Amino acid sequence: MTPRTRSDRRIYTSVLVIGTGGSGLRAAIELSERGVDVLAVGKRPKNDAHTALAAGGINAALSTMDEDDSWQQHAADTITESYMLANPHTVETVTKYAHRGIEDLERWGMPFAREADGRISQRYFGAHKYRRTAFAGDYTGLEIQRTLVSRATELQVPILDSVYITRILVSDNVVFGAYGFDLRDGTRVTIIADAVIIAAGGHNRIWRRTSSRRDENTGDSFKLAVDAGGRLRDAELVQFHPSGILEPENAAGTLVSEAARGEGGHLLNALGERFMERYDPERMELSTRDRVALAAYTEIKEGRGTEKGGVLLDISHLPRETIMTRLPRVYQTLLELQVLDVTTTPIEIAPTAHYSMGGVWVNSDDHSTDVQGLYAIGEASSGLHGANRLGGNSLVELLVYGRIVGEAAANYSAGIVHQHRSREAIEAADDEVTELLMSDGTENVRALQRDLRNTMTDHGGVVRDEAGLLEGLRQLDELEDRQTRVGVHPDLAGFSGLAHAFDLRASLLAARATLDCALERRESRGAHNRSDYPDTDPALQVNLVWSADGTIEHEPIPPVPGEIAALMENVTQDGKLLE
């Protein structure tokens, strides 16, 4: 098959949104409601976006269950559990306007679980002082995605969910669109736009055990932003969720929702001990994800894990009705994947790469980047989570900043009088695709992706040290060299092989940023555990900003407003055990 079998396609729009998950759709909805021409593109069907996998809930201080809760307390909990690396202004924005995000979903038909009197029900999630996590069974993300897709359909937002974007088009550090190809027939697509919003997720697929599915969260957002002239912030801060299943192998890492612990599940080692007593005796299973993941890792590492290399999550003591009504997805998932009845039998789990807490560097006001007209939102962005993400915070972030960025992009587009485009930028993007399609090397993309996941798991996982990180970077050098000799072979089934090759390039860049920053952060803080630097270093209470040339800037964090600081508790290393 020759590189070109179809004619090229050119599309014009005011704002382009890359990614059709929750954050991308929320931004597109805002733009459409403001009367702005918008186009959303994605590399997977919009109904099957990664947002649909989010299970447990969405946070907002609605005070429907605990009247003493407030957005200030929500902010205090978020900053405290970020190990002081969250941007206070970003946190204030999300927590203050979280209620509006919930109201938007209600207005668009979101089926929240409710109390008998009609109040939105809210449950406890780990490290929250009050019950502030609203939910829809344990299908919360799926229902949010359905609600947003329904609203976008009502507004007739155009969505192309088979287009792979390979490059942001930039002229003199100003965005003028993006370039990509159709996954079905290889048609080259040039999209001319005033502004571009990156909402294409994070990079946790580059670990061996991950909650992401194949070909999603491969670091696309990171590479698109960096190639355009942007930077990355806190790439080393990756959340490992405590409860990923171990089998079957093709589903290893699939999540058992944190809601299972929120509803009263017990964590047990192979000896039958509730091991969280050793790590956080006060909060036990409701401790933060970083502590629970590290505790499970330690139990396994020290020989108290199961034969298959896990620990046990037991919800069998809960009433069957509770499991079937509040944890239906957990029940169904384990029944389908393992023929396991969780009402009678514990679940074997281990830590799994779950969420990119760092991401593209953005301004906290409107999530603009270093490149004029380029924005990033959702898991693609950074600033809210710091070194530990509270469960339920990411879903509300995408609603709050989806609206804010939609408004900002609309205003930016309206203010443009002239747009400068670059023929050279378009030709360079076109040449990149052509060169890959003509490559006929001996290296297999899937094999390289597997080797990369092994490297990141072995040397950039839950616990890290200098020797391991340096070895990881050495292996990364080899993988980058091998990547230049891949073979790409489109066939009648489509151009997925070309997409895999671009995924690999993105993953390699994301991996290098992660290992570089992990090496630079010579301390243990939140989800970042250095066995050779077990203590928290006050001098490293900074964000690490990585540039394409490998340089890392230590970015100061703004002070916490007094009304929030007054509600904060000290973050300690109590309950954290390292190798």
User: Within a domain: residue 179?
Assistant: yes
Same-domain check for residues 369 and 307: no
**156 lies in some domain:** yes
* Same-domain check for residues 98 and 175: yes
Last residue of a domain, one of 389, 415, 441: 415
CATH code of residue 264: 3.90.700.10
How does DSSP classify residue 118? S
Q: Which of 505, 546, 369, 415 is nearest to 14 (CA)?
A: 415
Confidence category of residue 123, pLDDT binned at 50, 70, 90: confident
CA 229 – CA 252 distance, rounded (Å): 35
Q: How many residues does the chain have?
A: 579
CA distance 176 to 468: 41
Cα 4 from chain centre: 34
Checking DSSP bridges between strand 463-464 and strand 529-530, what pairing results, if any? Answer: parallel
pLDDT band at residue 289 using 50, 70 and 90 as cut-offs = confident
What is the average per-residue pLDDT within 469-488?
A: 97
229 & 162 share domain: yes
Domain co-membership, 233 together with 259:
no
Other CB atoms within a 10 A radius of the CB of residue 184 amount to 13
Confidence tier at 138 by pLDDT (50, 70, 90): confident
Please provide residue 265's backbone torsions phi and psi, each rounded to the nearest 5 degrees. -65, 150
pLDDT digit string (tens) for 92-101?
999 999 999 9
Beta bridge partners, 178, equal 168, 191
Q: Pick 27 or 7 by higher pLDDT.
A: 27
CB 16 within 8 A of CB 191: yes
Please indicate, yes or no, if residue 46 is contained in any of the structural domains. Answer: yes
Query: Which of 344, 99, 83 has its CA nearest to residue 234?
Result: 83
- Residue-level pLDDT at 434: 94
Please answer whether residues 524 and 220 qualify as being in contact, where contact means their C-beta atoms are separated by less than 8 angstroms.
no
- For the annotated catalytic residues, the residue numbers are 289
Label the pairing between strands 188-198 and 174-182. antiparallel
Residues 338 and 204 in one domain: no
Do 398 and 250 share a domain, yes or no? no
Which pLDDT band holds residue 493 (cuts at 50, 70, 90)?
low
Residue 267 and residue 283 in one domain = yes
pLDDT in tens, 442-454: 999 999 999 999 9
Mean pLDDT of all residues in 110-135: 91
> Residue 170 forms beta bridges with which residues?
175
Contact 168, 374 (CB under 8 A): yes
Residue where a domain stops, chosen among 368, 398, 415: 415
Task: Please state the domain count of the chain.
Answer: 2
Among 12, 19, 16, smallest CA distance to 43 is for 19
Same domain, 42 and 109: yes
| Identity of the amino acid at 258 | E
pLDDT tens-place string over residues 11-36: 999 999 999 999 999 999 999 999 99
Alpha-carbon span 74 to 159, nearest angstrom: 35
Is 372 part of any domain?
yes
Residue 9 lies in a domain: no
Q: Which DSSP string do the residues of 183-199 spell out, in sequence order?
A: TTT--EEEEEEEEEEE-
Same structural domain, 214 and 255: no
State the pLDDT at residue 5.
Answer: 45
Question: Which among 415, 432, 455 is the end of a domain?
Answer: 415
Task: Specify if 442 maps to a domain.
Answer: no
Domain with 385, as residue range(s), is: 16-59+71-116+134-238+355-415
